Structure 1
Amino acid sequence: MNQKVHTEPVRFTSDDYAARMVRVVEDAAEVGLNGVLATPGPDLVWLTGYQPTAITERLTMLVLAPDEHPTLLVPALERSDAEAAEGSSSVTVVDWADGTDPYEAARHLLPPDGRFGVSDSAWALHLLGLQTTLPDTRYRALSASLPMMRAVKDSNELGRLAMAGAAADATYGEIVKLRFAGRRETEVAADLARLLREFGHEQVDFTIVGSGPNGANPHHEAGDRVIEQGDAVVLDFGGLMYGYGSDTSRTVYVGEPSAEVRAVHEVVRLAQQAAFEAVRPGIACQEIDRAARAVITEAGYGEAFIHRTGHGIGVTTHEPPYMVEGEEQTLRPGMCFSIEPGIYLAGRFGVRIEDIVTVTDTTGERFNNTDHALRTVE
């Protein structure tokens, strides 16, 4: 087995991080915010390259505001780690010591009556502490105030997502060579995790293996059910590679598929293709959902398609934008998201097909390229 399916990506520079911070400040001002507060999680990683080794109860917060140099407030014991981050030269690191009040330290960095966008990952503990210390400040979730903050990827980010997609494809190419019948779902899930790591992932986020009736639960956790001849098996797996996500789904069948399973799988395949063909700059995200849903509804399975058609992906495997009815954000070149329609027949079986797609100047391009046909396995 060839386990080398990737090359080292181009490193992000301090200029890359600085440009992101400048753009975020400008975008925040346009929506009436006085600044942005990024806490440990995907926002902080994307803006600075810094990811604390352990997210604890100690306050860590990047403060971005117009006409102010970016400032990263960290616990004193983590200062050296923060200063070693890729984007550290673009920020001023300020620390607070155990036994002192971190919110008093934050007071000196924030206007007393400011309106801030704050990371969705912020602890309620810290938000309440800021509100107590600065009672006239106001806060909005970044997913609500700047939902497209990380949505448009640059060429370096696109390259990493492409490598992650290729690694996920290689994982699928190997898993279908293994035996399914007579093995527990957890065993197949462990193989998926092992293969993702062998092909370059540093983090495995999920390995869904839904066999037989378990496949009708879109987020089924792999369990002790023994996979049997005659089972449809939904495989959905992904994680992070070079800091960027993969996420793909295919449905396989143990033995010779029934006519019904073949028919349902074909409906999902056509729905996935219709949604992909709808991708182009300038259309609303909801149009991708509508394209897939129309095919499934026309085939008589509308009530069995029970989730949105897709989600954004980047430094985390789920992020804005979302391909769902009511989402009027328009597609722009560089956006990346999943297209994953499914049909779920309770108590019987499920089918899902998922690719990661990016928007080009004229259309869409897949980062997953394994065959969409119903694959039979042993």
Structure 2
Amino acid sequence: MITLPFAADVYAGRLERARSLTRASGLGAIIVGPGSDLAYLVGIEGDTIERLTALVVPADGEPTVIVPRMELAKLRGTAVSALDLRVVDWVDGDDPHGLVLFALPSAPSRIGVSDALPALHVIPIGDRLGVRPELATPVLREGRMIKDAAEIVELRRAGAAIDAVHRRVPGMLRPGRTERDVASEIAAAIVEEGHRTADFVIVGSGPNGADPHHEVSDRVIEEGDIVVVDIGGPVPSGYNSDSTRTYVVGTPAAEAAGRIEILVRAQQAAVDAVRPGVTAEQVDAAARDVLAEAGLADAFLHRTGHGIGVSVHEEPYIAPGNPLPLREGMAFSIEPGIYFPGRWGARIEDIVVVTADGCERLNMTPHGLTPAG
């Protein structure tokens, strides 16, 4: 059974905001399938299956949850039961997509669907309603991008928990161990330090560190290796951690050490740039400019950051070309990296929350090249 991390009135407020934003967008309703949006709005966790589960939020009217009868037990302990929301259940042989129309006070001319709802459901819902579904992302994004005080508490909890793991990592790194061995030990530590699960563990040693999305391999860690460790997962509330540090086994090459010092400066420049009114692309540029001035522009292969909350990756995205102004309560990563194929890579990542006059950094372990042992 799921235990709600927040009081029922928090979820009631989220639903009301979703309804208000739906109305303001000109949509007649939004339809939200399983995934992070559904977890955020009513605390239902899990993935989409071939049987339709959906939350229908009309612009005017009460929300309804459509769920297979065999899944009714999963609603216990969620905001659906806490708020006594209307539930419409169905069994195999029924037409669940037609129930969406039943859940609406009138037939809408426009509907939005969450981006996690598969075509398997989106197309027949559109057919039953006689409309072309649109993405509900603008409505759902607006609600989730600005974290309230309770959400920020959970993000702080997640940040402290993953910091505790990073403090243990130097003792796990030594020559002769494989990346896989280290990753297994880190995954156990993530749970031991207060996470529900280890959602991801990247251990990129030596040349593997030059692949930003390398996970683990059977490569044996060697003396002198630079090792990228990117880890995170949800705490019991479902809010996520995500932090990357770069370690060295033994003595680093002078060139690598110097370049990582520049990376530290780039990451700090981006953190320093964060405040309300500054755009996402300006924060990205703050990190990118430091690296470019040092001749390392081509070594930075990805955006500077991503939002975080009930998903590890969500809006806002701190990337070139994103003119979105930052607002107080936004939470996202700052994680520039440099990568040299066949040799080594490095990345430094913190989660920050925008405050009234800057930002709060949620990860506090050392940012420079950290020695193992």
TM score, norm. by length of structure 2 = 0.95
Give the C-alpha shift of residue 117 in structure 1. 2.2
Superposed, 1:121-200 pairs within 5 Å as 121-134=116-129, 136-144=130-138, 146-200=140-194
CA 87–133 in structure 1, closer or farther in 2 if over 3 Å, else same: closer
Looking at structure 1, the residues matched to 33 and 79 of structure 2 have their Cα atoms a distance apart, in angstroms, of: 17
Partner of 1:3: none
The farther-off stretch of 116-125 and 158-167 is: 116-125
User: Following superposition, which runs of at least 4 residues in structure 1 exceed 4 angstroms of deviation?
Assistant: none
Whether the 8 Å contact between 1:14 and 1:86 is mirrored in structure 2 is yes
Alpha-carbon deviation of 1:113?
4.2
Whole-angstrom distance in 2 between the partners of 1:298 and 1:277:
18
Secondary structure at the counterpart of residue 73 of structure 2: helix
Give the CA deviation at 1:346.
0.9
Structure 1 pair 244/317, CA: closer, same or farther in 2 (3 Å)? same
The amino acid across from 1:180 in the alignment is R
In structure 1, the partner of 2:69 is 76
| Alignment-derived partner of residue 268 in structure 1 | 263
Structure 2 gaps, min length 5: none
Q: 1:305 and 2:300 equivalent?
A: yes
Question: Which runs of structure 2 are paired with 1:6-17 in the superposition (5 Å)?
Answer: 11-17=5-11
1:277 has 2:245 as partner: no
Taking the aligned partners of 1:145 and 1:303, their CA distance within structure 2 comes to 36
Amino acid at match of 2:355: T
SS of the residue aligned with 1:321?
Answer: strand
* Deviation of the 1:83 alpha carbon: 4.2
Task: For 1:269 and 1:340, locate their aligned partners in 2 and report how far apart those are by CA, in whole Å.
Answer: 10
Q: Which residue of 2 aligns with 1:5?
A: none
Deviation string for 1:184-242 (max 9, x for gaps)? Answer: 11111111111110011112211001111110100002011111111100000001002
Find 1:109's aligned residue among 103, 109, 115. Answer: 103
CA distance in 2, matches of 1:179, 1:83: 44
SS at match of 1:73: strand
Q: Aligned letter for 1:192?
A: I
Instruction: Please state how far the C-alpha of 1:109 moved relative to its aligned partner.
Output: 2.1
Do residues 352 (structure 1) and 347 (structure 2) align? yes
Correspondence for 2:372: 377
Query: Deviation digits for residues 165-188 of structure 1, max 9, x if unmatched?
Result: 000000000111224311111111
Confirm or deny: 8 A CA contact 1:12 1:86 kept in the other structure.
Answer: no
Structure 1 vs Structure 2: percent identity of aligned residues? 46
Question: Which one of the candidate residues 223, 241, 245 is aligned to 1:229?
Answer: 223
1:88 CA drift (Å): 2.8
The alignment's C-alpha RMSD in Å is 1.6
| Aligned partner of residue 237 in structure 1, secondary structure | strand
Aligned counterparts of 2:138 and 2:7: Cα–Cα separation in 1: 28
CA distance in structure 2 between the aligned counterparts of 1:114 and 1:173, rounded to whole angstroms: 55
Q: Report if aligned partners of 2:201, 2:232 keep a CA contact under 8 Å in 1.
A: yes
For residue 119 of structure 1, report the CA deviation from its aligned partner. Answer: 1.4
Matches of 1:13 and 1:377, distance apart in 2: 43
Q: Which runs of 5+ in 1 are unaligned?
A: 1-8
Partners of 1:141 and 1:320 lie apart in 2 by 15
Q: Is 1:366 equivalent to 2:361 in the alignment? A: yes
1:210 aligns with 2:204: yes
1:58 aligned to which of 51, 74, 84: 51
